[in-house]
Chain A
Amino acid sequence: MSKENKKYWKSIDEYNKKELPVSKSDEFMEGTTDEFDPSKLDGLSRRKFLALLSASTAFAVTACSDYHDQKELAPYIKRPDGLLPGKPNYYASTCSGCSQACGILIKTREGRPIKVDGNDLHPINKGKICATGQASVYNLYDPSRLQFPTKGKNKVDWASADSDIINKLDKIVKSGKKIAVITHPINSPTEKKLLDEFKQRYSTAEVYSYELFNNCNKKFAWFKSYGSPEIPSIKWDEADIILSLESDFLAKEANHVEATRLFSSRRDIMKSDHFNRLYVAEAGMSLTNTNSDYRIQVRPDAQYDFVLSLMSEVVKRGASVINVDSSVKKKLSNYSLDSFVTKWNLDAIKVNYLIDDLVNNKGKAIVYAGDVLPADVHIAVNLLNEILGNTKLYDYDKAYVNTGRQAHLDDFKVLINSFNKSEFGAVIHYDVNPAFHIPSSMNYADALKNVGLVVSLVESENESTVSDTYTLPINHAFESWGDAQARKNVYSLRQPVIAPLYNSRQREAILLTWITSSSEAYNDDMYHQYLMESCRENIYNKMKLAVDFKSFWFAALHDGYVELNKQSTKKHVFDLTAFDLRKHSSASTDFGLLLSRSYFIGDGRFANNGWLQEIPHPISKAAWDNYAAIAPSTAKKMDLEIGDVIKVSVGDNSVNLPVMIQPGVLQDMITVELGYGRTVIGDAGKDAGINANDLLNQQSGSSPWITSGVSIEKTGEEYELVSTQEHHPLDEDFVKDFHLKRGIIREATLTEYKKNPEFAREHDEELVSITSEHKFTETKWGMAIDMNKCVSCATCVASCDVENNVPVVGKDQVANGREMHWIRIDRYYSGTPEDPIVSNQPMLCQHCDNAPCENVCPVNATNHSPDGLNQMVYNRCVGTRYCANNCPYKVRRFNFFNFLDHFADSYYENEVTPLVYNPEVTIRSRGVMEKCSFCVQKISEEREDAIREGREIKGENVVTACQQACPADAIVFGDVNDPNSRVSQYKKHNLGYLVLQNLNVRPNVTYVAKLRNTHSEDT
C-alpha cells in the first residue's frame, strides 16, 4: 500500500466505517445549541480567538520595555587583598548579644558577613552560640539602622556634633552639674578603662550600669557568703544530681551554651548510660523544666522555705559534711520538709527521691538558684551546697568576672528625682534604652526633658532617643574593635570584618574624642590603637611571652581569644553571718507573677530581628507575641481561653495581656516574658507583643521579677496569638497521646531500657515492597538526632534560617500556617495538663528513600539523588503543592508570596537587607515549594574539594547548619554507608528508630529514643 493510500484507524468500528460518534462530526454536542443558531456565529472560532489573543500578548510583551533583570555584573578588576570571589573567609570575633562574650566565627562572602557560628577554638563555648547569636547577622543589615548623626530631627556632621557636645560637657562640669553615663554592664577591660578616663576628664560624670535581667541578687549573695563577687562556673558535666530552683540554666542564665553542652554530655547514650538526673522546682514551665526528670511545683516566694526545709532534712539525717553551727540548727528546727510538702501539696514521693538523691550523692550534686530569686535564697542555697559538699563542682578557674555594681530600680528612682531637680546637666545613653526598660510609671522619659543635654549613642532609634539633643549612630559589633572578659581564664577580642556601612562611629571612639576635647582628634583607627595599647599593658606584659607584641596581637586576632595564665585561687570559706537567722515570712497564696526575659529577643534589643521574632517559643510555640501564661486550672476557674485579654495589676501599675493556657504552670501563678511591645523601632518589631515592663516589682529590697498579691481581671477583649503547633489540630480525643500511639515519640526510663533494650524498635513492622529496593552503593547521606541530648533551644532553627535564606513571613502568615522554617521543634505533652511530661522532637525533611512526595510531582521537580538526597528543583516547580499534601511529616514549605521580594510593602527591598543572603543558596520565588536540603551546598563544597584533591568524599567533612549550631551536639550528619561514621552507629543502635516507620517511606533521619533517668520504681 502506498503512503498516500495508507489509512489510520483507532478502532474496529472506525475501520469498518460504522457510524462514528457524533462528537467527531459536529462541533457542538446535542442540546448545547438549543438556545442559539450555530450558523449565525462569527466565523472566528474559539480556537482561532485564543490563538489571536496569544499572538497579541506576544506583541504586547515585545512592546514592554521594562525588563526586570537590570542588575549589573561587575567583575573584580581590583580585587581586595585576601578576597577570592566565590570563596568564603572566616574571621574570629566575640559576640555582643549578651554579656557572656561567646567566641564567634564570622563567615564572609565578597566582603560581607553572611553567617555567624561559634568559634571552634574558644575554650568556653567551643564552637557553639545561641539562637540570638546565630541571627545577629541580620542586625548588621537592619534597614532601620541610623545612617548619620542628628541633632533633634536634623542631620548634622560629626565635627560640629562633637565640638558642641564637648563644649556643653565642659560647661556642665564648670557649673557643678553632673553627667550621667548610662550603660549596660561593661565586660570589656579596655572600655572600663575608657570610662574611668572619661570620669577623670569630666569630673562630675557618674556611670550607671544596668541590665533588665541581671544576676545582681546572686552576685550580692556570693559576696556576702564568700567575700568575693567572683561567681564560679559550675561543672555541670560532673554533676550526677542537679536541683534547679527557678533557674532556666539551659536557656537563659549565665553561659547557657556552655551549660547545655556540659549537661548534654551526661546524656550521651553512645558514651555511657550513667546519666545525670535533673530535678526542677519552679512555678512556670521553662525550657530547662521540659528537660527535667522530675518536676516539683514551688512558688518563687516559697523557694526560701523550700531550701531551708531541704537543709533541715539533710541536717536531721546527719548527712552534713561540715559542722553545722548550733545557731543554724536552731533556725532550721523551725522548718520541716514533711510540713512543707503537706502545706504546698507537693508530691511527697518526688520530694523524697530528691532528698535521697542529694544525700546519697554528696559532692556530685548541685543545687542551683535562678537569677530571679532574691539574695537570701541564694545565700541559703550556698549554705546547702556547703553542707552537702557540692562545692567540689564549683570551678573557680573559670569564674565569671565581676562587671561591677549595677543600678537597680531604686537607683533609677533617685536618678530620676535628680533629673527632675535639674541636678544633672547631661545624660549619655551609651547603647542602652532605659526609657523602654524602666517602668513607665517612673516617668524616666519625662524626667529627661529636665536635662539640658541628652545624647544617645545607638545603632537604631529607640524609646530613649525620642528626647535626644543628639542621636549619634554607632557601629555594629561586626564593624567594631573591642575586647571582653566574661570569664577569668579567657580574654576575648572583637575585630571588625566589614567597613562601616553608614556614617557611624565606634562608640568607644566617640568617647575618646570627647576625652581629648577636640573634634579633630577623631580618626577611624583611634580605638584600635587604644585597644592595642590596653591589651599590651594588661594582658601581653603580664604573660611574659617570648614573642613580640605584634605577633601576639595577630595570633590573638586569628584565634579570637587569649587563654590567660591560671591565677592562684584563694580558699573560699562560707561566712555564716551571711545566713539570715531571723524568722522569715511565709509565701503568700495569692496570685503570683514571675517575669523573665524572652528566649530570643532578649530584653527587647533584638525585637526588630524578624527571624528571632518568628522562631516559635520553645514551650508554647507562639511567635511574634508575649502573653500571660497561666495554668489550665486557673483558666478554668476564671473561665479564660487562649487569646482572652486580662488586666494584670501590680500595685498601681497594670498591663493588659492576652492569656496563654500553659500546661505545667502552677495554679495561681502567671509568667510573662518581657522585651516585647517596642514602639520606637523598625517595621518588624513595631507593636510586636505587649510592653509588660510596668509589672516590674518596684518595692525596695525585693526581687524585681517576682511579685505576690497580683490582681487579675478579665477585660472581655480578645487578642490573636499565633502558634505554630496548633495548625490544623485534629479532634482532641483523637489526638490524645497520638505521638505515643503512632511511635513518633519513643521514650522510656533508663531502668526500662536496661530491662528491655529493644523497646524502641520492638513495635516496628516488617516492611514489604513489591519492587526491589534501590541500593545506594556510594556515599549516602543521613542524619541522626539524639533526643536525649536535644534541649529544644531552637538554635538549629535560627542557624538553618540564616544559612538557607529562609524568609520571615510575619504574624498574619504564621496564623495561616505559612511559616517557612525548614526545621521545626515539635512539642508534645503527655500526662495531665497540671503535671505534663514534655517531649520535643526536631522535625525536618526526612529525605525518604521511598519519598511519597517524589511520586506525585507532575513536573518531576522533586526527585532523588544518587547519594540519597530528596532534591528540589525550584525552577521546575509549578506549585501544585501535591508533594506537601503527600508528605506525612509535613515538612515542605510553600512560598505563597514572594516573601523575599515585594512582599509586605517591600520590606526586603532596600539596599542592605539582601546583603544577608547566602549566595550559595537559591532565593526561592513565589509558587515554589522548598524544604530542608541537608545543606546540599555544603555537600557540593565537599564534593568539589574531593575532586580537586583527588580523594573520596568524606562524610564527616560535611557539617549541616543545624549540626554546626546545636550546642548539645544532638544532631549528627554523615555517610550512612560508612560503617565508622557516627551517623551509622546511631542508625544501628537499638535506641535508633524512624518516625512513622510503618509507612514504608524509609526516612533517612534516625531518632534516638529519649531515656528519662527516673527512679526504678517509676515507669
Chain B
Amino acid sequence: MNNIIKKKSNRRKFFTTAGKSSLGLMLMSFFPMNIFSKNTKVIKLKEVHPHPQAVKRDNKTK
C-alpha cells in the first residue's frame, strides 16, 4: 500500500486502473447478464384465499 501512495507514478496507475475497472463493470451491469444476482425479476405471486366453506379434517393423516 505504501508503494501505491508514496510513489506518484504508482498512485496514478492505481487510480487509472481502479477507475477503468469500475467504469467497465458499471457498463456491464447494465446488460441483462445477471452477474451478481440470480434473478433480477421480481414476481408478485397471486393472492390466494382458502375457500370459506371448506370443511377441514380434524386430525392429520399419516
Contact = CB atoms under 8 A, between A and B. Distances in A.
A73 to B, nearest CB: 13
A803 interface: no
A52 B50 contact: no
Nearest to A496: B51
A499 interface: yes
Interface string A49-86: 10011011101110110111011000000001011000
A64 B28 CA distance: 11
B48 A554 contact: no
A451 to B, nearest CB: 35
A290 B5 CA distance: 79
A448 B54 CA distance: 39
Contact of B54 (A495, A911, A926): A495
Contacts of A926: 38
A902 B39 contact: yes
B55 A91 contact: yes
Contacts of B41: 902, 906, 909
Interface stretch (A104-112, A335-343, A725-733): A104-112
Q: Is the interface of A mostly helix, strand, loop or mixed?
A: loop
Interface in B26-62: 26, 29, 34, 36-46, 48-58, 60-62
A127 interface: yes
Contacts of A501: 46, 48
A977 B55 CA distance: 39
Contacts of A53: 17, 21
A90 interface: yes
Nearest to B28: A60
A60 B17 contact: no
Contacts of B46: 501, 911-912, 915
Interface string A106-141: 001011100001011000000100000000000000
Nearest to B58: A558
Interface residues of B, number: 40
Interface residues of A, number: 63
B18 A55 contact: yes
Which of B7, B37, B38 has most chain A Cβ within 10 Å? B38
Contact of B36 (A52, A61, A909, A914): A61
Contacts of A957: 62
A433 to B, nearest CB: 26
B7 A43 contact: yes
A909 B51 CA distance: 25
B37 A67 contact: yes
Nearest to B42: A70
Interface string A893-924: 00000100110001001111011000000000
Nearest to A554: B55
A422 interface: no
Contacts of A633: none
Contacts of B45: 911-912, 914-915
Contact of B49 (A48, A61, A88, A111): A111
A42 interface: yes
Contacts of B29: 60, 63-64, 66
Contacts of A71: 42
Interface of A: 42-44, 48-49, 52-53, 55-57, 59-61, 63-64, 66-68, 70-71, 80, 82-83, 88-92, 105, 108, 110-112, 117, 119-120, 127, 479, 495-499, 501, 525, 528, 554, 557-558, 898, 901-902, 906, 909-912, 914-915, 925-926, 957, 959
Given A42-B13, A90-B61, 19 more contacts: A48-B4, A59-B22, A63-B29, A71-B42, A80-B50, A89-B57, A90-B60, A112-B48, A120-B61, A120-B62, A479-B51, A496-B51, A498-B48, A525-B53, A558-B58, A902-B34, A911-B45, A915-B45, A925-B38
18 contacts: A52-B21, A53-B21, A56-B21, A59-B25, A60-B26, A66-B37, A71-B42, A89-B50, A90-B56, A111-B50, A497-B51, A499-B48, A499-B50, A554-B55, A558-B56, A898-B39, A906-B41, A912-B45
Interface of B: 3-4, 7, 9-10, 13-14, 17-18, 21-22, 25-26, 29, 34, 36-46, 48-58, 60-62
Shortest 4 CB-CB distances between A and B: which pairs?
A56-B21, A60-B25, A68-B37, A111-B50
